[in-house]
């Protein structure tokens, strides 16, 4: 808490939040307004040291209306139903706040949008256009930071995830680190459709992640629109939700718990493939993967064949980027193999500009490409992969010091 230059009080907080990559995909809503899914899903939370959303919120009676700035641009809050839903969800569970001067603001006053209003400033460390799940990190971060400033008290365990879910379904899973399941729930009001942690981030220290950002030449079908058409037209999606997902969830949770990579990897790849098969089965069909995605798939299968077991596993969301899970023993050789087949774009001066992690790059150069996986000269696909992130599983949202705030504490506007 503090005081603006105008003398009016404020409450503020800043958080960062991670993205997550599902290994059993969420695809299809049974209720579009409440973001209720047709199946449960599970994901691995990625390390926010590498990819994160960061959001500062300041609330004050000095502000005229709720306002939002995203990556430097002001957005109209009144036009975003999702933001409004998250705001209303948190205000409904606000608690009394004690200000710096000892004054207590009752919850009812704090949560009254005609009395206290919110300025929200958010920034992503990864390009929104990259097709990485920035909405997951963004809505998880927004939910968490709003919960902090409003002193939100969860009426039931995991209730915050159900609020984040209404911003973006996958955001429900970014409120925890490690391995997270979003239970589809059965209630019509969505109260039992929340996420919970299955294993913490440090449960499987050997697990590592390589993200290949693939150039997309055309605008993809948005998740919400794509899901609607898939639910309406794909018989395969209906079969998936009814018969495939539940057994896969139990099997992959057991594999993750036992740190059994071959089983974890096999289910991950099959589930990604089935999700994209459902997209092809949608009428008219939706294509998220492109030729580069397919070449990456083939390369991972060759890498595994060479090792005689599954040591790397790809998964693709609603775009052409490949997320490849592997274990420490194989990261360097895998990265070297990907880089041999997909050399950096000509516009990048060195591999240091191509790969996010200098130690990972060094290790890849030292490891080299395993015999038999070299790229025949002339077959290199230069620039088809734009950028490579090397990361690991990570923890849930983190509170940052007010000194990192994106809101100026004198004016209450972006710093
Ligand atoms: C393919 O969570 O972005 O990444 O709920 O409409 O915001 P909305 O969709 P969103 O969809 C994510 C779909 C996916 C699979 C997944 O993350 O489970």
* Range of lowest pLDDT (18-32, 119-133, 166-180): 119-133
Q: For residues 213 and 131, what is the distance between their CA atoms, to the nearest angstrom?
A: 8
Non-local CB neighbours of 162 within 8 Å, separated by 6+ positions = 89, 172, 190, 191, 193, 194
The residue extents of the domains of the chain are: 2-200+397-404, 207-391
Q: How far is CA 135 from CA 54, 197, 211, in A?
A: 12, 20, 17
Which phi and psi (to 5°) does residue 14 adopt? -135, 135
Q: What DSSP string describes 304-317?
A: HHHHTS--EEEE--
The protein residue whose alpha carbon is closest to atom 7 in ligand 1 is 168
On the question of pLDDT at 309 being above 90, the answer is: yes
On the question of pLDDT at 154 being above 80, the answer is: yes
Mutate to test the pocket of ligand 1, among 130, 164, 318, 321 (most ligand atoms within 8 A of CB): 318
Give per-residue pLDDT as tens, 133-145: 578 999 999 999 9
CATH number of the 207-391 domain: 3.30.70.890
How many Å is the Cα radius of gyration of the chain?
22
pLDDT computed for residue 129 by the predictor: 43
pTM of the model: 0.96
Q: What is the 3-state secondary structure (H, E, C) of 328-385?
A: HHHHHHHHHHHHHHCCCCCCCCCHHHCECCHHHHHHHHHHCCCCCCCCCCCCCCCCCE
Is 2-200+397-404 CATH 3.30.230.10?
yes
Q: Which residues line ligand 1 (CB under 6 A)?
A: 22, 25-27, 35, 41, 133, 135, 168-170, 223-224, 317-318
Q: How confident is the model at residue 217 (pLDDT cuts 50, 70, 90)?
A: low
Q: Average pLDDT for residues 157-183, to the nearest whole number?
A: 97
Question: Which atom of ligand 1 lies at the shortest distance from residue 171's CA?
Answer: 2
Across the chain, mean pLDDT equals 95
Question: Which atom of ligand 1 lies at the shortest distance from residue 43's CA?
Answer: 18
Q: Quick one: tokens of 324?
A: 């490849």
Question: Which atom of ligand 1 lies at the shortest distance from residue 317's CA?
Answer: 1
Task: Return the residue matching tokens 């958080």.
Answer: 15
Mutate to test the pocket of ligand 1, among 20, 22, 24, 26 (most ligand atoms within 8 A of CB): 26
Distance 26 CA to ligand 1 centre (A): 6
Mutate to test the pocket of ligand 1, among 138, 170, 229 (most ligand atoms within 8 A of CB): 170
C-alpha dihedral sign at 130, 393, 356, 371: negative
Contact in structure between 74 and 67 (CB atoms under 8 Å): yes
Contact in structure between 16 and 52 (CB atoms under 8 Å): yes
pLDDT computed for residue 375 by the predictor: 97
On the question of pLDDT at 376 being above 50, the answer is: yes
Q: Average pLDDT for residues 240-255, to the nearest whole number?
A: 98
């Amino acid at each position: 808490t503090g005081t603006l230059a105008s003398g009016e009080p404020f409450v503020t907080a800043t958080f960062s939040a991670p993205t997550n990559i599902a290994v059993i995909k969420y695809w299809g809503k049974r209720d579009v307004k409440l973001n209720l899914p047709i199946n449960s899903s599970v994901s691995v939370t990625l390390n926010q040291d590498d990819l994160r959303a960061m959001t500062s919120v300041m609330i004050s009676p000095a502000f005229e209306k709720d306002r939002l700035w995203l990556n430097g641009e002001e957005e109209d809050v009144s036009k975003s139903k999702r933001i409004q839903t998250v705001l209303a969800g948190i205000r409904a569970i606000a608690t009394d706040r004690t200000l710096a001067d000892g004054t207590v603001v009752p919850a009812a006053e704090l949560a009254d949008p005609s009395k206290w209003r919110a300025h929200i400033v958010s920034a992503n460390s990864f390009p929104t256009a990259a097709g990485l799940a920035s909405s997951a990190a963004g809505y998880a971060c927004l939910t968490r930071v709003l919960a902090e400033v409003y002193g939100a008290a969860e009426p039931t365990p995991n209730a915050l995830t159900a609020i984040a879910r209404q911003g973006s379904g996958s955001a429900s899973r970014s409120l925890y680190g490690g391995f997270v399941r979003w239970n589809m729930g059965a209630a019509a009001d969505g109260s039992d459709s929340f996420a919970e942690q299955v294993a913490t981030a440090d449960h499987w220290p050997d697990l590592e992640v390589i993200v290949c950002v693939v150039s997309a030449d055309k605008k993809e079908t948005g998740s919400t629109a794509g899901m609607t058409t898939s639910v309406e037209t794909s018989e395969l999606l209906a079969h998936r939700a009814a018969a495939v997902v539940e057994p896969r969830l139990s099997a992959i949770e057991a594999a993750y718990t036992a740190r059994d990579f071959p089983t974890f990897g096999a289910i991950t790849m099959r589930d990604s493939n089935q999700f994209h098969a459902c997209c092809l089965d949608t009428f008219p069909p939706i294509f998220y993967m492109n030729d580069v995605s397919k070449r990456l798939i083939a390369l991972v299968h060759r890498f595994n064949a060479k090792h005689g077991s599954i040591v790397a596993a790809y998964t693709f969301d609603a775009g052409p980027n490949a997320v490849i899970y592997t274990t420490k023993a194989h990261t360097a050789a895998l990265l070297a193999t990907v880089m041999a087949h997909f050399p950096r774009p000509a516009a990048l001066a060195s591999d240091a500009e191509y790969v996010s992690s200098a130690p990972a790059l060094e290790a890849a150069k030292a490891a080299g490409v395993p015999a038999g996986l070299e790229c025949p000269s002339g077959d290199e696909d230069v620039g088809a992969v734009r950028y490579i992130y090397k990361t690991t599983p990570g923890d849930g949202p983190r509170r940052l010091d007010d000194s990192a705030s994106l809101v100026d504490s004198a004016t209450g506007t972006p710093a």
